[in-house]
Amino acid sequence: MAGKLKIVVDDMVPFVEGVFEPYAEVVYMAGEKIGRDDVMDADALILRTRTRCDASLLDGTSVKFIASAAIGTDHIDFDYCNSHGIEVRNAIGCNAGGVMNYVFSALYGCASRKTIPLDGKTIGIIGVGNVGKRVERMANYLGFRVLKNDPPRAEAEGPDGFCDLDYLLENSDIVTLHVPLDQTTRDLADADFFARMKDGAFLINTCRGEVVVEEDLIASRPRLGPLIIDTWRGEPRINRALMDLTDIATPHIAGYSYAGKQSGTSMAVRAVARFYGIEPLYEFFPPTEVIEESVRLDLRGKKQGEIASIIQYNYPIFTDDFFFRLNPDDFVRLRSEYKYRKEYYVDY
């Protein structure tokens, strides 16, 4: 097979260098620089979210398979791929643990800094897929009341356990966004959305920047509580006015844990291997020397200050905020050089 199969790989996909070389010609490139000429004779692409996969990239090429080592798929034109026989796989759920860690590190960190009591508070989760489910489980474990809004799940499973968006916004002390970006969620958080939120409520966005109308958020800022933003409209460009109003600002790294990156790369490699019949890679996982063990925490029965201290010790989120504020124009570099963190977990 060597010399016959060609794979183009985003050079930000970790743990993949050397994996396919015994079986294929492999070209590594910066994802945002991958163009049509680069993939003209490629059979497969292994990407993250920096490469727009549509007709302008794929038309007339030999690409038959695209594996994304990330959860998001809004960079992929599925209609084009489906109509041209191109298979697409993404790493569903790979970053769920890392994002959950980020949400609760940010929540308890901001509450501590602003002396906001969290006992008896309600968390409203908008989008209850792989990430939202992890947030839900942790919230229940910590004793929060949980409200859930997820129209696709409510339609498929029935309305029990879900509420409409109006009710969630009007009754949640913390609103956290975990929706995919599509035509139903773009600009979801607009002026009307913020007007319906409770005075002083937290807002956490770790999904996609385009879900939030940033100018509306800026205008609504005075009546909201702590603001935690990891994803931004038009990344890597940053709205500095919005950044200045946040309590925590980070460069789209909520899911950047060792476990998440290992899982994402593993899913992408296995997908390509199975599509092309590369049997030695069917069960690929990054070698043990790069594995960082996750950390088990016991938070039951502990007070808010103790929980905040334990979580911050395991993920000191304000360090990420500090370095981003020092270098907001270095969005891409901060992401590419980010030191993946260990995940923490609890026994539910």
DSSP letters for 246-263: -SEE-SS-TT-BHHHHHH
Strand partners, 27: 8
**Which 3 state secondary structure label does DSSP give 87?**
strand
Q: What is the mean pLDDT of the chain?
A: 95
Would you say the pTM of this structure is higher than 0.85? Answer: yes
pLDDT tens readout for residues 134-156: 999 999 999 999 999 999 999 99
252 is catalytic: yes
Instruction: Out of 134, 153, 208, 270, pick the active-site residue.
Output: 208
Q: What is the DSSP letter of 53?
A: B
CA 299 – CA 307 distance, rounded (Å): 6
Pair 44, 67: CB distance under 8 Å: yes
CA 282 – CA 1 distance, rounded (Å): 16
Backbone torsions φ then ψ of 68, nearest 5 degrees: -100, 125
Judged on CB neighbours under 10 Å (0-12, 13-18, 19+), 59 is: exposed
Cα-Cα-Cα-Cα dihedral sign, residues 96, 102, 108, 111: negative
Residue in the block written with tokens 């949640």 = 172
Lowest mean pLDDT among 176-180, 280-284, 332-336: 332-336
What is the pLDDT confidence band of residue 288, given thresholds at 50, 70 and 90?
low
Instruction: Out of 153, 252, 270, 335, pick the active-site residue.
Output: 252
**Which 3 state secondary structure label does DSSP give 341?**
strand
The DSSP H or E segment spanning 229 is strand 227-229
What is the pLDDT confidence band of residue 44, given thresholds at 50, 70 and 90?
very high
Is pLDDT at 222 greater than 60 in this prediction?
A: yes
- Say which residues have a Cβ less than 8 Å from residue 26's Cβ, sequence separation at least 6: 6, 7, 8, 9, 20
- Say which residues have a Cβ less than 8 Å from residue 90's Cβ, sequence separation at least 6: 67, 68, 70, 71, 72, 73, 76, 267
Instruction: Out of 235, 274, 292, 325, pick the active-site residue.
Output: 235
Please report the domains of the chain, with CATH numbers, ordered by start residue.
6-94+259-290 (3.40.50.720), 96-254+298-346 (3.40.50.720)
Is pLDDT at 114 greater than 60 in this prediction?
A: yes
Provide the pLDDT for residue 170.
98
170 is catalytic: no
129, 135, 136, 141 alpha-carbon torsion, rounded to 10°? 150
- Picking from 77, 66, 175, the residue whose alpha carbon sits closest to that of residue 127 is 175
CA 20 – CA 44 distance, rounded (Å): 11
Pair 225, 201: CB distance under 8 Å: yes
Over residues 61-89, mean pLDDT: 94
3-state helix, strand, coil in the chain (%, to 5): 40, 15, 45
Provide the pLDDT for residue 291.
58
Over residues 53-70, mean pLDDT: 96
Residue in the block written with tokens 């975990």 = 178
What is the pLDDT confidence band of residue 112, given thresholds at 50, 70 and 90?
very high
